[in-house]
Amino acid sequence: MSKWWVFVAACLLYVRTLTFDYTFLDDNALILERLDFLQNLGNLGKIFTLQVFYSPIGGFYYRPLLTLSFMLDAIWGGGGLWAFHLTNIFLHGGVSVLVAAVLEKFGYRRGLSIALGLVFAVHPMLTQAVAWIPGRNDLLLAAFCLGALWFLLNYYQKQSWQNLAGFGLLFSAAIFTKETTLALLPLIGLYALYKRQATRDIIRKDGIRLYLLGIGLLAVLGVWFLLRSIALALSPGYPLGIVITSFLANFKAVFLYLGKFFWPAGLSVLPTLLDSSLLPGWVAAGVLGALLVWLATKKRWLAFFGAAWFLAFLSPALIRPNLEYISDFLEHRAYLPAVGLLLILAEFFTHTGKRVGQATTALVLLSLPLAYLAFDHSQVFADRMTFWTNAAAHSPHHPLTHKNLGAMYYLDGRHQEAAASYHRALALNPKEPMIYNNLGLIYMAENNFSQAEEAYEKELEINPYYENALINYGLLRYHHQQNATGAAELWQQTIAIYPDSASAYQLLINLYLQENNATAAASLTNLARSRGINLNY
Nearest to 7 by CA among 84, 110, 94: 94
Other CB atoms within 10 A of residue 519 CB: 9
Domain ranges of the chain: 4-381, 384-530
pLDDT tens-digit readout, 1-43? 678 899 999 999 999 999 999 999 999 999 998 998 999 998 9
pLDDT over 70 percentage in the chain: 98
- Rounded-to-integer distance, Cα 216 and Cα 224, Å: 12
- Rounded-to-integer distance, Cα 128 and Cα 271, Å: 12
**373-402: b (≥16 Cβ within 10 Å) or e:** bbbebbebbbbbbbbbbbbbebbeebbbbb
pLDDT at residue 56 in the model: 59
pLDDT over 90 percentage in the chain: 80
- Rounded-to-integer distance, Cα 244 and Cα 64, Å: 27
pLDDT tens-digit readout, 270-322? 999 999 999 999 999 999 999 999 998 888 899 999 999 999 999 999 998 87
Contact 112, 3 (CB under 8 A): no
pLDDT at residue 238 in the model: 77
How much is the average pLDDT of 384-392?
96
Three-state SS for 272?
strand
- In angstroms, the Cα distances linking 283 to 15, 248, 263, 439 are 34, 21, 10, 45
- In angstroms, the Cα distances linking 178 to 120, 142, 197, 237 are 21, 10, 32, 17
pLDDT at residue 1 in the model: 66
pLDDT tens-digit readout, 88-116? 999 999 999 999 999 999 999 999 999 99
**pLDDT band with cut points at 50, 70 and 90 for residue 354:** low
Average pLDDT for the chain:
93
pLDDT at residue 325 in the model: 85
Residue 234 pLDDT > 70: yes
- 328 beta partners: 272
**pLDDT band with cut points at 50, 70 and 90 for residue 383:** very high
Q: At what angle do helices 81-105 and 136-157 cross, to 10 degrees?
A: 30
Q: What is the CA radius of gyration of the chain?
A: 26
**pLDDT band with cut points at 50, 70 and 90 for residue 502:** confident
Residue 391 pLDDT > 90: yes
pLDDT at residue 143 in the model: 98
One-letter amino acid of 18: L
- Rounded-to-integer distance, Cα 285 and Cα 283, Å: 5
How much is the average pLDDT of 71-89?
96
Contact 432, 401 (CB under 8 A): no
pLDDT at residue 297 in the model: 86
Contact 439, 416 (CB under 8 A): no
Nearest to 171 by CA among 109, 240, 221: 221
Topology of domain 384-530 in CATH is 1.25.40
pLDDT tens-digit readout, 461-472? 999 999 999 999
How much is the average pLDDT of 149-175?
96
How much is the average pLDDT of 189-204?
93
Q: What is the 3-state secondary structure (H, E, C) of 154-194?
A: HHHHCCCHHHHHHHHHHHHHHHCCCHHHHHHHHHHHHHHHH
pLDDT at residue 57 in the model: 57
Other CB atoms within 10 A of residue 420 CB: 14
- Rounded-to-integer distance, Cα 95 and Cα 144, Å: 9
Contact 459, 469 (CB under 8 A): yes
Three-state SS for 328?
strand
Q: What is the 3-state secondary structure (H, E, C) of 55-96?
A: CCCCCCCCCHHHHHHHHHHHHHCCCCHHHHHHHHHHHHHHHH
- Burial group, residue 53, by CB count within 10 angstroms (0-12, 13-18, 19+): middle
**pLDDT band with cut points at 50, 70 and 90 for residue 536:** low
Residue 537 pLDDT > 90: no
pTM to 2 decimal places: 0.92
DSSP string computed for 188-221:
HHHHHHHTHHHHHHHHHHHHHHHHHHHHHHHHHH
List of residues 6+ apart from 519 with CB closer than 8 A = none
- Rounded-to-integer distance, Cα 87 and Cα 72, Å: 10
73-82, 217-226, 240-249, 394-403: range with lowest mean pLDDT: 240-249
pLDDT at residue 154 in the model: 96
Residue 370 pLDDT > 70: yes
* Residue 334, CA atoms < 13 Å, CB-side half-sphere: 28
Contact 504, 498 (CB under 8 A): yes
Nearest to 3 by CA among 152, 153, 118, 127: 118
Residue 430 pLDDT > 80: yes
How much is the average pLDDT of 331-358?
90
